[in-house]
Amino acid sequence: MGAPARIPLIPLYSGRQIREAEAPLLEAGHRETLMRRAAYGLAQVVLERLRSVRGSVYGAKVTGLIGSGNNGGDGLYALAMLRRRGVETHAVLMRDRAHEAGLATFLAAGGKLVDVVDTGTDALIDAIIGTGSRVGFEMPHIPGLGEVLADESTQVIACDIPSGVDVETGAVAGDVIDADMTVTFGGIKSGLALGEGSHAAGQIRAVDIGLGEHLPTPARWLVGDERLRATTPDAPDAPEPLSRPRVSPRDHKYSRGVLHVIAGSVQYPGAAQLTATAAVTSGVGMVTLQAPEEVRERLSIMMPEVVTTSGKSAAVLERASATAIGPGISRDVFQIAAMGRAVEWAGKEHPCVIDASALANLDEEYFADEDLGPNVLLTPHAGELRRVMVNTGHEELVEVLDRDPASAVEQLASRLNVTVLLKGPSTVIAAPGGPTVVHRVHAPGLATAGSGDVLTGIIGALAAVDPTAPMWRTAALGVRLHAEAAKRLDPYACGAFGAGELLSAVGPTR
């Protein structure tokens, strides 16, 4: 698949958790030490960016937008360090007060207070609002700021979190300053990986400021990617990195796993092809497809290795190690009936992926009648998730979904006792009694018809190959491989491809 052999899971923390970890150090009188460590990390990243863009540091110009709190203090200390390295540093104070010691250090180093942002600025540090604010942000009216933010050559670097991003949910209630890179301190905050915050943060650099043993065991984890570098301490009880199931030379087609797919209808025949083809190229030993006759005939010609069936024989399920249900089944009564049998077969024993049209057929009675477990995975996008919430009697979670998607997914997974994967630019996977995993995807081309069908095939195949793996791990790996396929096909994130082309990038690098 071209993905790394071992993909790390990096801890995500709430703003409250970071503040609580800082508390004993602050009580011991180490406030200035923590700030200077944070400032040093921020200054080093700015220096790296300047070298990358300009080729040199001396003579560069850096402007800081400085708030009145500790976040502004971090920015002022960083600007002072940059000034000592030969950088011309300016600070625009957002209020008539600033962190006293930080301001004194900045001025003593030769920094200048200004009330405009020079259009020749090489880097802009956003140190206006820290993690303690969760109210809507209004873009300050500073001469030159708009021009600098619109200049792609200017590096915008957020101090801890971009101004305007909710540190807990990633929501943006008002304006936001989009960053090329966010330098965050102590640990990565959830708001940098979720919702609009994921886009506003840009690349993420996490800096160790010495919180160490004071950090709690997180409940949320971020799938590592090339846009993230963390130097924070290892979290206790961290999950093992994600890795693809190993296939032995002694394996045969049945021991490598059999995935039974229920997909397609006369109205949507292509969905079956996308799901089955993605599964075949994802490492499973055999794929069986249950679909209407017209769909089976078409696929038998295009993908002769897929075993097609009408589903009348129970033997198809008996030899399966996992099922994938839903893409394109529409209102086909035979496919819906087959869905019921397959989910009943899965129960608490076998992996089962439920997607697309199948999600619309889930209701409150369905979960009351079936004895399901975390091995059953729902893979909705936001609109489908709202329908599932309403149909299963949890409509009050719709409001939660609008303001805090990760929390809503976690609550629904717990109530239904299944694993839930919310698809989107920041994919959220929650399992009852298990961790929540977030994957930031910088692949706009995946927002296309049929992309979800491909994901269903990938996850289903991985589940069939290793049916004993926790479903949240299998789902997280599938999402990563799905995104890697898109990046391989579209490295510059132009988004100009369809799901059919995506299939060509699923599988080992050729």
Binding residue positions for AMP: 423-427, 452
CA distance 31 to 217: 23
Q: How far is CA 74 from CA 6, 32, 35, 68, 182, in A?
A: 35, 10, 6, 11, 13
Amino acid identity of residue 253, one-letter, is: K
Tokens, residue 337: 């009936």
Could you list the residues known to form a binding site for K(+), using ranges.
Answer: 71, 126, 163
DSSP H helical ranges for 90-168: 100-108, 145-150
**H/E/C letters for each residue in 10-63?**
EEEECHHHHHHHHHHHHHCCCHHHHHHHHHHHHHHHHHHHHHHHHCCCCCCEEE
Contact 263, 327 (CB under 8 A): yes
Q: Which residues are annotated as a binding site for (6S)-NADPHX?
A: 70-74, 160, 271, 328, 381, 453
The DSSP letter of residue 172 is B
Contact by Cβ (8 Å): 419, 471: yes
Q: What amino acid is encoded at 411 in this protein?
A: Q
Cβ(322)–Cβ(377) below 8 Å: no
Q: Report whether 203 contacts 224 (CB < 8 A).
A: no
Phi and psi, residue 430, nearest 5°: -130, 140
Judged by DSSP in three states, 167 sits in: coil
Find the helix or strand (DSSP H, E) in which 125 lies: strand 123-127
Asked whether 457 and 355 are in contact (CB, 8 A), the reply is no
**Angle at the Cα of 43 from the Cα atoms of 37 and 44, rounded to 5 degrees:** 90
**Per-residue burial over 39-77, b = 16 or more CB atoms within 10 Å of its CB, e = otherwise:** bbbbbbbbbebbeeeeeebeebbbbbbbbbbbbbbbbbb
Environment class of 226 (CB within 10 Å of its CB; exposed 0-12, middle 13-18, buried 19+):
exposed
